[in-house]
Structure 1
Amino acid sequence: MDGDRPAGLFALGAGHVNPERAINPGLIYDIQPDEYITHLCTLGYSRSDIFSITHRNVSCHDVLQKNRGFSLNYPSFSVIFRAGDRRKMMKRRVTNVGRPNSIYSLEMKAPEGVSMRVRPRRLIFKRTNQTLSYRVWFVSKRRMEDKNTRFAEGYLTWVERSSSYRVQSPISVTWTSTK
């Protein structure tokens, strides 16, 4: 890890791996260790399962109460619209590991049947290792009249034009008729 970055942070990516670009990715999605515990709770892991992984005694009830609307800070998005759901919001954090004074602009392709809004639409980094957040709102334009599950895919990409960084996040949307 870089000496300027706090210990205990993990970097993840999504998509095709290009070894030359992997060395200098531009942006990374850091995840704190405690966020993995919250994620295990959202997946329904039991207290003993989590203890066997983390060696920590965790109350998922308490963790989930403190972290309502939690979404793992992962580079990809998985959106599930269940019966009655029309809107979802997800927040992500990215850390600039590229050049200082970098400006990333948004390119996106919304999944079919979904409208998307991303705020902010530009990420302006003044320094290396600076972290900024963005939010994505997904709005389903489909009605669930039938009982079939439907799928759609899209992406959003942060582009830094002066350095040719392109950080793409795949989006997968599922509609299901079950609550």
Structure 2
Amino acid sequence: MSCPHLAGVAALIKKAHPDWSPAAVRSAMMTTADTVDLSGRPIQDASPKKGPATGFAMGAGQVNPSKALNPGLVYDLNSADYVRLLCAMNLTAAQIRAITRSVVDNSCSSSSLDLNYPSFVAFFSRSSEVLELRRTLTNVGQEMATYSAAVTPMDGLQVRVVPQHLVFKGNGDKLSFKLVIQSVILKKKKKKFQKSGYLKWVEDGGGKHIVQSPIVATNIHSY
């Protein structure tokens, strides 16, 4: 039933914010989702392993419609961003035109696997020790606002955000940052790992808005 429920919440958000893109609506639902239950305890994993659910099990969390209507910041996207992703996946111009059904220039003059998505997946290959994931946030609040980054500690990983603070000058202002994840400790041990945590952008002055994104990191192939 999650799909029709989310579709209904998305419709409510679009009604309240008709100028928002589908990506902005998705971001609002993901970054305001709850990761604790009504008693304040972490949502539990339903698998035999039990324990608190991680990003691998529950994604961003349980949607909170009232919070999603006023997320503070969103990770927005447009069609050109998806074209750059397709280019980075080495699709041909003909294949991209078949997907986009567009006659615009798809010459792949620029490409990027770093889609401006409201979550972070860090896959470490045998040769990688440090990964940088870049994102851009758009202020959808009504006033100037300063946000500070907070990252959940993940055992064996060193995670930092550059810059640590974002100062938005008004509605529609866009600012970029990068999430740097280093796996030197785990790489030395040569162990397979799956780690999960969160990046939170907390609005200064009482935390009126908290923009939360799941982070997952692994060196395990899915095949």
TM interval, short-chain normalised: 0.7 to 0.9
CA distance in 2 between partners of 1:172 and 1:117 (Å): 14
Residues 9-50 of structure 1: per-residue CA shift (max 9 Å, x gap): 831322232111111110000112111122233345554443
CA shift at 1:133, angstroms? 0.6
1:18 maps to which of 41, 64, 70: 64
Q: Which has the higher helix share?
A: 2
**Normalised TM-score (structure 1):** 0.81
Partner residue, 1:29: 75
Is 1:97 aligned to 2:116, yes or no? no
Partner residue, 2:85: 39
**Contact 2:136/2:174 (CA < 8 Å) preserved in 1?**
yes
Residues 112-163 of structure 1: per-residue CA shift (max 9 Å, x gap): 22101111111111111101111111111212665x6421111110011445
Q: What amino acid sits opposite 2:101 in the alignment?
A: H
Structure 1 residue ranges (4+ consecutive) displaced by more than 3 angstroms after TM superposition = 7-10, 41-49, 56-60
SS of 2:179's partner is: strand
Partner residue, 1:106: 149
Partner residue, 1:86: 129
Residues 66-90 of structure 1: per-residue CA shift (max 9 Å, x gap): 23x5400011000010002101111
CA distance in 2 between partners of 1:101 and 1:25 (Å): 15
Partner residue, 1:137: 180
Q: Which has the higher strand share?
A: 1
**Contact 1:111/1:173 (CA < 8 Å) preserved in 2?**
no
Q: What amino acid sits opposite 1:136 in the alignment?
A: L
**Contact 2:194/2:220 (CA < 8 Å) preserved in 1?**
no
**Contact 2:84/2:110 (CA < 8 Å) preserved in 1?**
no
CA distance in 2 between partners of 1:110 and 1:50 (Å): 39
SS of 2:211's partner is: strand
**Contact 1:73/1:91 (CA < 8 Å) preserved in 2?**
yes
SS of 2:70's partner is: coil
Q: Which 5+ residue runs of structure 2 have no aligned equivalent? A: 1-13, 31-59
**Contact 1:9/1:33 (CA < 8 Å) preserved in 2?**
no
1:75 maps to which of 118, 141, 148: 118
The count of residues paired between Structure 1 and Structure 2 equals 172
**Contact 2:152/2:199 (CA < 8 Å) preserved in 1?**
yes
Pick closer, same or farther for the CA change 1:157–1:83 going to 2, 3 Å. same
